[in-house]
Amino acid sequence: MRYLNLMASLLALAASAEAGALGSLARVSVVDRDNGATLQTYYARGEYWVAGDPGSRYGIEIRNCAGGRLLAVTSVDGVNVLSGDTAGFDQAGYVFDPGERYQITGWRKSNAEVAAFTFTDSRDSYAARTGRPANVGVIGIALFRERPLAVNAPPRIASPPAPEAGAAPPVAGDARGSLAEDVTTMAGAAALQRAPAAAPEARLGTGHGEREYSYAVDTEFHRMQSQPNEVIRIRYDSLENLVAMGIIRKPRPAPHAPDAFPDSEQRHFVPDPR
């Protein structure tokens, strides 16, 4: 009976973690790393939104739900999280094995470090500080299936061979090594769908936080096609701004409930840390 209760608790925790996840090929969610909570997603104006807490560190959690490996080209505020380039085609991303789950927690600085993602004023975001404020306030995941290898195919090489005379050039990034975080690997491939220019300027952005240890290795990935099989976009801003924009309804104050014993001392337990 005790075992069954434990399993029920674990299943409840798993369901809670998936509550804010989006996507079909992979489940993507945004996690507040300071309290471990998965941020709730809100659907409004044709997009998904989350409310970030200014000053908090966050991670982008991805779980592969497909039958094979997936490449996840990831951008924050229109910037590739691995290279720092403006997100586009022929860029690196993360590769997930079937069923694999991992949190992308920062801007990659080397094979051993990342600079943590932090919710901050848009003017202090990494994108704005590098002269690219137009797409602050959006997280993007472009998912690609892997191209199956032919039977008795020759060994893969690190870069594509030079094209023959008159032949079309190969797709850039189709056979490029890249980085991998811990148990999650990354590989070069295509890019994200660009955020629309008409999107309003976000008041909350993603800063370039403190350095954290994050081991990385190289791997190789061949896309099944040049365009993403699925693109997941998540807009974000502060709770106050999302309420002001009408994305989130302002919570109503709870009505006062009369106390049957107002002069009695209440029993207290250990409070949660801040």
pLDDT digits (tens, 9 = 90+) for 176-230: 334 444 333 344 333 344 444 444 456 899 999 999 998 877 789 999 999 999 9
- Dig out the tokens for 254 from the structure: 């709870």
Query: What's residue 68's pLDDT?
Result: 95
Per-residue pLDDT band at 264 (split at 50, 70, 90): confident
Query: What's residue 262's pLDDT?
Result: 81
228-263 burial: b if 16+ Cβ within 10 Å, else e: bbbebbbbbbbbebbeeeebbeeeeeeeeeeeeeee
Q: What is the mean pLDDT of the chain?
A: 79
How many angstroms from the chain centroid is the CA of residue 179?
16
3-state SS of 115-165?
Answer: EEEEEEEHHHCHHHHCCCHHHCCEEEEEEEEECCCCCCCCCCCCCCCCCCC
Q: Quickly list H helices, 167-264.
A: 239-244
Count how many residues are written for the chain: 274
Query: What's residue 250's pLDDT?
Result: 79
Whether the pLDDT of residue 51 is over 80: the answer is: yes
Q: Which amino acid is at 175?
A: A
Query: What's residue 18's pLDDT?
Result: 57
3 state DSSP class of 242: helix
Query: What's residue 13's pLDDT?
Result: 41
pLDDT digits (tens, 9 = 90+) for 95-152: 999 999 999 999 999 988 999 999 999 999 999 999 999 999 999 999 999 998 755 5
pLDDT digits (tens, 9 = 90+) for 52-67: 999 999 999 999 999 9
